[in-house]
């Protein structure tokens, strides 16, 4: 039955029952019956609804219905339930395609996520520096900049979903799990630095959740982890020295593009590590605000990150005969003709 999928697709599109019914040529009450599985649309109505909702008809008959577990939105207070429903519907659609692809593989080439063993205890915020360094060492990253954070997380079993929803600016992050696999969501509309800090912050939740004392603010702890993971203490000291009485915006801009972390976050790291004292930090923040840099930092923005793993695995599966061309096209939300054409262009 198609009811649950129809509800999700309608939530993602933002259409009311009346809007969808008007485009499909049926009454709002019929849409309600379809969503409650009290009635089944004809093929003509199904095609019309697919067109109105921007999905293929195969979407309604996809065998996998996944559930997001432990959903945690880092959202703004003004974010409405309707907006959250649209975002969730988009994430669910992508997650379902991921898991359909996963279930078609004899052995899916993506590891299970597990936090490193024997991480040091956390008693104060400064201890989180050692946690971030321990994760880096376990993942053999050293203290150098991480060029592809999405690829790194995916290689360690974290499913990263990028959404192009126009409402993604209403949240600061989303973390959930599907069948025990951690899922992190970022927006394609965010600047690269914001994407990366959000990804590192959500990694912090996965790593720190059971390590923090009960009186420690987990959000602040994860912010500290994100900064330390993206720009390790030793690298920061090597770049800026042990103590500074000021920072030039051009210097910050160059470091931003080296480590993929915003200028504001670098300044905050400097305060956390005692490189800037409170007075100097406040003066720099005032200068930033007066120049309008708190909303848009000067210079070229850091490039956005993209996830390529899903598309790559679909083409790999088709090439190895695990997927038919029609199934691969469905997973990529394109026509079979366009999929075959794309394969020819790549060959």
Q: Which residues pair with 75 in a beta bridge?
A: 171
Nearest to 230 by CA among 190, 257, 191: 257
pLDDT number for residue 167? 63
pLDDT number for residue 106? 82
pLDDT number for residue 65? 63
Q: Collapsing DSSP states into helix, strand and coil, what is residue 218?
A: helix
* Dihedral (CA of 176, 179, 182, 187) sign: negative
d(CA 48, CA 6): 12
Tokens read off for 108: 């899916």
Which contacts (CB < 8 Å, 24+ apart) does range 128-131 have? 128/208, 128/221, 128/224, 128/225, 128/228, 129/224, 129/228, 129/232, 129/233, 131/207, 131/208, 131/211, 131/225, 131/228
Backbone angles phi, psi at 12, to 5 degrees: -65, -35
Tokens read off for 76: 């703004």
Q: Collapsing DSSP states into helix, strand and coil, what is residue 254?
A: helix
pLDDT number for residue 64? 58
Q: Collapsing DSSP states into helix, strand and coil, what is residue 154?
A: helix
pTM: 0.82
pLDDT number for residue 75? 62
CB 69 within 8 A of CB 176: yes
- The DSSP output letter for 61 is G
Contacts of 215 (CB under 8 A, 6+ apart): none
pLDDT number for residue 9? 82
* Dihedral (CA of 265, 270, 273, 278) sign: negative
Q: Pick out the chain residues at pLDDT < 50.
A: none
d(CA 226, CA 232): 10
pLDDT number for residue 347? 55
Pairing of strands 181-187, 69-75: unpaired
d(CA 48, CA 45): 5
- The DSSP output letter for 295 is T
d(CA 21, CA 31): 6
pLDDT number for residue 96? 85
């Amino acid at each position: 039955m198609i009811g649950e999928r129809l509800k999700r697709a309608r939530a993602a599109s933002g259409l009311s029952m009346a809007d969808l019914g008007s485009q499909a040529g049926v009454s709002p009450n019929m849409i309600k019956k379809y969503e409650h599985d009290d009635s089944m649309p004809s093929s003509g109505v199904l095609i019309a609804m697919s067109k109105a909702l921007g999905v293929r008809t195969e979407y309604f008959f996809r065998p996998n219905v996944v559930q997001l577990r432990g959903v945690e939105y880092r959202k703004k207070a003004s974010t409405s339930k309707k907006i959250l429903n649209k975002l969730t519907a988009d994430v669910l659609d992508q997650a379902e395609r991921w898991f359909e692809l996963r279930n078609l593989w004899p052995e899916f080439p993506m590891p299970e996520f597990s936090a490193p063993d024997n991480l040091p205890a956390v008693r104060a915020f400064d201890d989180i520096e050692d946690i971030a360094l321990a994760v880096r060492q376990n993942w053999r990253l050293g203290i150098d900049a991480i060029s592809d954070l999405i690829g790194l997380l995916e290689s360690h079993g974290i499913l990263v979903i990028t959404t192009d929803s126009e409402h993604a600016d209403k949240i600061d992050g989303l973390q959930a799990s599907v069948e025990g696999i951690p899922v992190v969501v970022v927006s394609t509309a965010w600047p690269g630095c914001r994407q990366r800090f959000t990804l590192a912050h959500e990694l912090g939740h996965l790593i720190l959740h059971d390590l923090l004392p009960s009186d420690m603010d987990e959000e602040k702890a994860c912010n500290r982890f994100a900064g330390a993971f993206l720009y390790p203490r030793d690298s920061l000291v090597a770049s800026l020295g042990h103590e500074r009485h000021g920072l030039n915006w051009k210097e910050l801009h160059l470091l931003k593009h080296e480590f993929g972390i915003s200028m504001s976050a670098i300044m905050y790291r400097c305060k956390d590590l005692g490189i800037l004292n409170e007075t100097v930090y406040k003066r720099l923040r005032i200068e930033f605000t007066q120049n309008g840099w708190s909303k848009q930092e000067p210079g070229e923005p850091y490039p956005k990150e993209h996830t390529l793993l899903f598309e790559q695995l679909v083409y790999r599966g088709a090439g190895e005969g695990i997927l038919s061309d029609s199934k691969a096209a469905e997973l990529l939300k394109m026509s079979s003709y366009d999929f075959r054409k794309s394969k020819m262009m790549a060959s």
